[in-house]
Structure 1
């Protein structure tokens, strides 16, 4: 009896240890998944940096100088305006027209480049070209659509954003910098990408990095999603090719930006 008792006891220990090991491995795997899951987006669509004016306050203050406010736009193809029938239908152009119609004289110059990540904008000199133009306001779309397409590690994406921000802040200390999320992309585009992260993870991880760094941020990605849900709009009806907005998409982007930043 004692031998059988000892054998059963040893068997229980081995099996129990195996279960414990499995549970520990599962816990570790869960931990990895939790680290990779995207942060929850803020309820506020325009996250204003502490001690800085709102976008509208900044425009008003600079307009008082009796000269046009120079606004620079930089980012990827969805900031450049690809997918629109003509440039006048893009959100940067619509913003310029709207502000000028409201008696706030502005010039909008677009430095965005199709297919570029933030690291490309730095390495190819586009950030330097923007700095040389000495804009008053900079709207910087994060280009994470291309980070996602090229499977760039999120740490490298965030580091490039930091380098760009530091460079702009050093060279243009009085410029008003706003980072901006891209638009959502169609689910059909996910099947052609082998990225380790979901596109949404790039959006929300960079949002967290930017806001925790104390920089202004407009969450156009969440703004799009909320608007589509409220109005029952299908995303594909707003996109030209699954990635780039069409005229209707750019109009909605401008309307959301205008409501969250200009009219707020």
Structure 2
């Protein structure tokens, strides 16, 4: 290789390394900018959380901005699964996914962890709590399965409370950054009925568990009470919102979703 060729080769190498350094610098700068944005989001969100003013929508926006998508698991019984729902008026979890995904800057995936006929005992024994944990959701909406806890045979209240504490402890230990919001289910035709060997009506069972949950200061939406009040205010009957004696119809699931939707901007401590 002559001197001219050597010089040309050196200039080529210098140019190549210069371009490489330029791209490395750009990558580092973008990475630092992203880390700075992530830290800013974390800082801002932590401030809101610390002030006890965080809302469900705050958490959704925070995670969606941070990760690009927010994963939500809805956990519970057949009224979470969607028995009685229609294509036009789907189950409340699906409606929530549709509503959130229409909002600017939010991408949402909702995993349906509703299981027909399950009580809280079934969720634990059949491994559905662990199955939900393994999904690693950002948010869990936990319908408490009280329709089935109240049925044949009726679960003892103290046992249900112990199970709820155990389940919440597992969520806290294995999903420490996940928001868990608890909810009761819809009213049924059995609101005021003592079922076989039952010592409480479905309404009494809900009231006892709702008081217990609030005493634990867990984020909580009392769908049972809210739906009862709204149906009465509209001067309708519970049966108008049921597909059968227990499961909501499309209108019932739509009302359930609307009650959640009305509270998306409510501080979690005030639900």
TM norm. shorter chain > 0.5: yes
Once residues 214 and 180 of structure 2 are traced to their aligned partners in structure 1, the CA distance between those partners, rounded to angstroms, is 12
Answering whether residue 200 of structure 2 is matched by residue 197 of structure 1, we say yes
Q: Who is 1:60 aligned against?
A: 61
Q: What is the distance in 1 between the residues matched to 2:259 and 2:205?
A: 21
Number of positions where the alignment pairs a residue of Structure 1 with one of Structure 2: 217
The Cα of 1:193 is off from its aligned counterpart by 3.9
CA distance in 1, matches of 2:74, 2:229: 24
Shift in alpha-carbon separation, 1:170–1:83, aligned structure 2, 3 A: same
Q: Give yes or no for the alignment of 1:124 onto 2:126.
A: yes
Residue of structure 2 equivalent to 1:247: 250
1:97 corresponds to: 98
- The equivalent of 1:139 in structure 2 is 141
**Deviations, residues 86-138 of structure 1 (Å, cap 9, x unaligned):** 49611000110011011321100011111111121011110101101100000
Alignment of 1:1-264 (within 5 A): 51=52, 53-86=54-87, 89-103=90-104, 104-149=106-151, 150-187=153-190, 190=193, 193-262=196-265
For the residue of structure 2 that corresponds to 1:115, the secondary structure is coil
How far 1:62 sits from its partner (Å)? 1.3
Displacement of 1:51 in angstroms is 3.8
Larger-Rg structure: 2
Whole-Å separation in 1 of the counterparts to 2:50 and 2:204: 22
Post-superposition Cα deviations, 1:178-215, rounded to whole Å, max 9, x if no partner, equal: 00011001148936544111111211211121121121
User: Unaligned regions of 5+ residues in structure 2, if any?
Assistant: 1-48
CA apart distance, 1:52: 6.6
Normalising by structure 2, we get a TM-score of 0.75
Relative to structure 1, the CA distance from residue 61 to residue 121 in structure 2 (aligned partners, 3 Å threshold; closer, same or farther) is same
Cα 1:233–1:52 shift into 2, 3 Å: same
Which structure is higher in RCO with an 8 Å CA cutoff and minimum separation 6?
1
TM-score, normalisation: structure 1 = 0.77
Give the 3-state SS of the residue equivalent to 2:66 in structure 1.
coil
Cα deviations across residues 4-47 of structure 1 (Å, max 9, x unaligned)?
Answer: xxxxxxxxxxxxxxxxxxxxxxxxxxxxxxxxxxxxxxxxxxxx
CA distance in 2, matches of 1:236, 1:49: 43
Partner Cα separation in structure 2 for residue 163 and residue 52 of structure 1: 27
Distance in 1, matches of 2:95 and 2:240, equals 20
Counterparts of 1:189 and 1:219, CA distance in 2: 17
How far apart are 1:245 and its partner, in Å?
0.1
Structure 2 residue matching 1:79: 3-state secondary structure: helix
Q: What is the CA–CA distance in structure 1 between the aligned matches of 2:110 and 2:88, rounded to whole Å? A: 12
